[in-house]
Structure 1
Amino acid sequence: MNHTPLFLTPVFQERIWGGIRLAEQFGYRIPSERTGECWAISAHPNGPTMVKNGPFQGKTLSELWGEHPELFGHFPSDRFPLLTKILDANADLSVQVHPDDNYARTYENGELGKTECWYIIDCKEGAELVYGHQAKTKEELREMMEEGRWSDLLRKVPIRPGDFFYVPSGTVHALCEGTLVLETQQSSDTTYRIYDYDRTDEHGKKRELHLAKALDVITVPHVDVQCERQVTKTDGAEITTFIDNEYFLVQKWDITNEWAVEHTTSFLLASVLAGEGELSTAAETYRLKKGDHFLLPYSFAPFTIKGNLQLIVSAPAWPV
């Protein structure tokens, strides 16, 4: 039985649309005023996070995946399956789409596809995001893209803090200005940009678009996937299950006092979004605070969380 949670050091990614809210909201030391992404729990080669406590201190999550499969219950995959991020959309992100596993495996050197979901941590008054499109056929989609009829094509929806969106591969989407989001996704970094508002970088160069591949993978017509929340209340906690499907389980844990947890999933990824408290096993007590990210290994000891805090917790789905 494993008794030590693995606390992880985030990796930060600068983006043309990034800002400083990751520092303001979580106290992170960010590399610049254009920091767009906190890769909080990652074994992806473009940003593997490192363990900062216990017997595996200094090891990256990707190293542990290869060297200690017992920590993950010998999960049947050639790579760590999930990636947790926090995104600071200080400006609009490009309108984009992600491929599914089959397409990515064929055209992206064996990469996973990218199905993801968003929990809206915070957003400005009147914020919205791009979710889906209005085209009825592939030909109509192609015409509207080629003619630049973006206001007719793109579907925008209003958002507020606490909203949750499931974004399957093939879904046209974009976060918009003034949004802070926790994203749970497949461990992939493959994105096909459709429209980038004709922006240029510091060298006056526009970012590459990927229209041909995007047309291959966009779901037409758009399918609006609704997730029905399931809420369970216990003494000391309220557990909201947002989604539980073939990719991941994603929950919000609102801890108000003390909650004894029987760990039953393969392994858990957890991010503290608010408050502070403690995680205790029979052997040790660990302090939890806003901005912490940790992984509970397979067969982790029964534990208790005590305090006043909010976490987003996820687990990968075992292949059938």
Structure 2
Amino acid sequence: MEPITTTNFGGFDVTQPLFLEPVFHEKIWGGRKLETEFGYQIPAGNIGELWAISAHPNGPNVVANGPLAGKTLDKAWAEDQDYFGHQSGKVFPLLTKILDANASLSVQVHPDDAYAAAHERPGELGKTECWYVISADPDSYLIYGHHAKTRQQLADMIHSGDWEHLLRKVPVKAGDFVYVPSGTIHALNKGIVVLETQQSSDTTYRLYDYDRVGADGKKRELHLQQSIDVTTVPSVDPKLDITSEKVDDATITTYVTAPISPFFSVYGIALAGQLHQTASAPYTLVSVLDGAGTFSADGQDYPVKKGTHFLIPNQIKDWQFSGKMQIIESTPGETE
């Protein structure tokens, strides 16, 4: 994306959305759909993840436009809190990704904040996440949850490799939404592409990795004891209250919000025309998953299209989308 220059009206600097340079991660299970389906210029290899809005040290995005151009999002969070409503958290709390599961991911589980604080690097959050399914091959399924009734039974089934009886398989299709609280055993399987909204964490505990070997010819590390420690037993399925409403020329779907999700709220927008919105949170994360159009704020128009990701800062209090687009918005929760 070409950098968007700052415009001055009447001597006042017009606040702009923060467009971000993508960060790509090669994964053993990745593919090339980020290039073929989204048009990103990706590196060679099996690219599994696009980190679209990230301030995590393992892949912070660089701001592409405006007064913060060239600054990483983590530094912006630390030094430019006017953009974020002067939030109290030490780290930017959210991370938005697109995942291309060309092969099945490892069966895994993530810790909560308390376990991460006690066992991982300083500042690392726990990881509650959710997926909006962008595409899925026929007969696609997820690993989601387990059948163990006690932690001892969980440990026994993990150590014996009784995956057939331990793991739950759940069918999935394009347009589905899946909420994955910390402590939930899960895995994306082959043929699925998702937009992931999550806490800003890169901590994953692997239970099972299909006995695959990496580029070094060795099996990837497993984290059996950590997995046993943090898994919720018995497995609990969150009860989501997904609702939709017509607003202007859009249908807005509320996928998850507090109190079910204390860390983030996630909304889907199906737009065919115009939609006016006002800020309901300190800042808003936006991902355009399909189509093209315009984002307008403070007298400025910004072209956006499939694959565009940006952050609406605290200084922008109302805005408008125009065009035909499928959009996912997320906002931070009260827990950071």
Q: Same fold per TM (> 0.5)?
A: yes
Counterpart of 1:292 (choices 283, 293, 308) is 308
Q: Assess if the C-alpha contact under 8 Å between 1:269 and 1:313 holds in 2.
A: yes
Aligned residues: 320
Counterparts in 2 of 1:117-156, with a 5 A limit? 117-156=130-169
Regions of 4+ moved over 4 Å: none
Specify the SS of the correspondent of 2:127: coil
Shift of 1:3: 2.7
Alignment correspondent of 1:84: 96
Alignment correspondent of 1:16: 28
Q: Assess if the C-alpha contact under 8 Å between 1:2 and 1:298 holds in 2.
A: no
Matching of residue 250 in structure 1 with residue 263 in structure 2: no
Alignment correspondent of 2:9: none
Shift of 1:318: 2.3
Structure 2 Cα separation of the partners of residues 302 and 313 of structure 1: 14
Matched AA of 1:72: F
Matched AA of 1:315: T
Alignment correspondent of 2:6: none
Specify the SS of the correspondent of 2:99: strand
Q: Assess if the C-alpha contact under 8 Å between 1:237 and 1:255 holds in 2.
A: yes
Counterparts in 2 of 1:167-206, with a 5 A limit? 167-206=180-219
Counting aligned pairs with the same residue, the percent is 52
Matched AA of 1:230: T
Alignment correspondent of 1:62: 74
Matching of residue 163 in structure 1 with residue 168 in structure 2: no
Shift of 1:261: 1.3
Q: Assess if the C-alpha contact under 8 Å between 1:166 and 1:226 holds in 2.
A: no
Matching of residue 99 in structure 1 with residue 111 in structure 2: yes
Structure 2 Cα separation of the partners of residues 261 and 173 of structure 1: 35
Shift of 1:228: 1.8
Shift of 1:301: 3.8
Unaligned runs of 5+ in 2: 1-12
Shift of 1:226: 2.8
Per-residue deviation, residues 87-130 of structure 1 (Å, max 9, x unmatched): 00000000000000000000102310000000000010000000
Shift of 1:2: 6.5
- Using the size of structure 1 for normalisation, the TM-score is 0.98
Structure 2 Cα separation of the partners of residues 265 and 95 of structure 1: 34
Q: Assess if the C-alpha contact under 8 Å between 1:2 and 1:299 holds in 2.
A: no
Q: Assess if the C-alpha contact under 8 Å between 2:82 and 2:315 holds in 1.
A: no
Counterpart of 1:35 (choices 47, 56, 61) is 47
Structure 1 Cα separation of the partners of residues 220 and 106 of structure 2: 10
Q: Assess if the C-alpha contact under 8 Å between 1:263 and 1:302 holds in 2.
A: yes
- Using the size of structure 2 for normalisation, the TM-score is 0.93
Q: Assess if the C-alpha contact under 8 Å between 2:298 and 2:316 holds in 1.
A: no
Matched AA of 2:141: E
Shift of 1:299: 3.2
Shift of 1:6: 0.6
Structure 2 Cα separation of the partners of residues 2 and 106 of structure 1: 43
Unaligned runs of 5+ in 1: none
Matched AA of 1:299: Q
Structure 1 Cα separation of the partners of residues 47 and 267 of structure 2: 26
RMSD: 1.2
Alignment correspondent of 2:84: 72
Alignment correspondent of 1:51: 63
Alignment correspondent of 1:270: 286
Specify the SS of the correspondent of 2:37: helix
Alignment correspondent of 1:227: 240
Matched AA of 2:307: G
Structure 2 Cα separation of the partners of residues 303 and 142 of structure 1: 51
Shift of 1:307: 0.3
